[in-house]
Amino acid sequence: MNEVPLLAANDLDMPALGFGTFQLDEETVKAILPEAFEAGYRHVDTAQVYGNESAVGHALATSGLARKDVFLTTKVWIDRYDPEDLLNSVRESLERLQTDYVDLLLLHWPVFGRNGMNPTLESLMRACADGLTRHVGISNFNIDQTQQAVSFCGEGVLATNQVEYHVYLGQQRLRRVLGRHNLVLTAYMPLAKARCVNDPVLWEIGSQYGKTAAQVALRWLTEQDRVAAIPATSNPHHARANIDIFNFSLSDEDRARIGKLDKHHRICAPEDLSPEWDD
Ligand SMILES: NC(=O)c1ccc[n+]([C@@H]2O[C@H](COP(=O)([O-])OP(=O)(O)OC[C@H]3O[C@@H](n4cnc5c(N)ncnc54)[C@H](OP(=O)(O)O)[C@@H]3O)[C@@H](O)[C@H]2O)c1
């Protein structure tokens, strides 16, 4: 079984590699998560809007794993941001997930009403104080919004900003700001939605180590300080391959070549949800 290192930031005991579940329906989640646990994944990323929290809960409950041994993230959808409703929505998530708490609770997108983000952040922190989650964070916040959120919540309160990050989207400016506030960057779409799995440069680099392009892309992310990656797959072979990355290291030269692949290429930018992006 593969051992995944933990990140060490803000007391966040989060494995640096997690299992993403976006666009995986309940049947697929029930089939693939046991394979993922078997392969060594101990970090699962879901969201209210994915419609698969019940299947994640089922897979966890039947896994034989102790609850404390799996790092579980969910995200509050934007239509539950009203402060009272946010807490109700989290309780509903916990029921579906068959647990008393999640490890990390995120605001899924920075879409706020007339009163701005503060009342929702207040309620997010309340969820933590009430024991519904161990950590809180944000997702898809741009630099300005991240700074606003940190300044409202206080340094050290927000654990992560989960954003799109992969070899084709370098996120240099945001990374600097997250580093300054000691926030983890949780990289979603770490395989650029499979667009990088045939990249010739990544294949060439991987050939030195007997690894695939996808494995190089994930290793590149997880070798970085305070970066976690959460690739998704419905394929057990891919699930096993994606976690088999902690037995090799990239060289400075490899990293320099990968750095040149950055095309500021953003895949996930829904018009009705996206902030003004920084790149
Ligand atoms: N916060 C947010 O707004 C947000 C947005 C998007 C995603 N996310 C999170 O991030 C996770 C990952 O993002 P994602 O699922 O959109 O994209 P991704 O992980 O970059 O790519 C998933 C795609 O890559 C393929 N794949 C996976 N491993 C592979 C391998 N070893 N070789 C070849 N192909 C491979 C998968 O197909 P197969 O099934 O065939 O392997 C699937 O088509 C999501 O599941 C979700 O948890 C969060």
- How far, in whole angstroms, is CA 241 from its chain's centroid? 18
* pLDDT band per the 50, 70, 90 thresholds, residue 14: very high
Q: Is the dihedral of CA 95, 97, 102, 108 positive or negative?
A: negative
Domain holding 128: CATH number? 3.20.20.100
Asked, for residue 232, whether it belongs to a domain, the answer is: yes
From the candidates 41, 50, 81, 188, which is the catalytic residue? 50
Q: Which two tokens stand for residue 233?
A: 């797959």
For the question of residue 188 being annotated catalytic, the response is: no
Structure confidence at residue 2 as a pLDDT band (50, 70, 90): confident
How far away, in angstroms, is 194 Cα from ligand 1 center? Answer: 7
Please report whether residue 6 resides in a domain. Answer: no
Q: Is residue 143 part of a domain?
A: yes
Kindly state whether residue 248 falls inside one of the protein's structural domains: yes
pTM above 0.95, yes or no: yes
Quick: pLDDT tens for 195-243.
Answer: 999 999 999 999 999 999 999 999 999 999 999 999 999 999 999 999 9
| Probe target for ligand 1 pocket from 185, 212, 235, 244, with the most ligand atoms within 8 Å of CB | 235
Cα(190)–Cα(205) distance, integer angstroms: 17
> Residue 11: what pLDDT?
76
What domain count does the chain have?
A: 1
Q: What mean pLDDT comes out for the span 36-63?
A: 98
Residue 68 has pLDDT above 90, yes or no: yes
Does the residue 40 lie in any domain? yes
Which residue range is the domain that position 216 belongs to? 19-259
> Which tens digits make up the pLDDT trace of 108-149?
999 999 999 999 999 999 999 999 999 999 999 999 999 999
Of all protein residues, the one whose alpha carbon is nearest to atom 29 of ligand 1 is 238
Please report, rounded to a whole number, the percentage of residues in the chain having pLDDT higher than 90: 96
For residue 220, being part of any structural domain is answered with yes
Out of 49, 145, 212, 233, mutate this one to test ligand 1's pocket (max ligand atoms within 8 Å of CB): namely: 233
| DSSP-derived 3-state class of residue 206 | helix
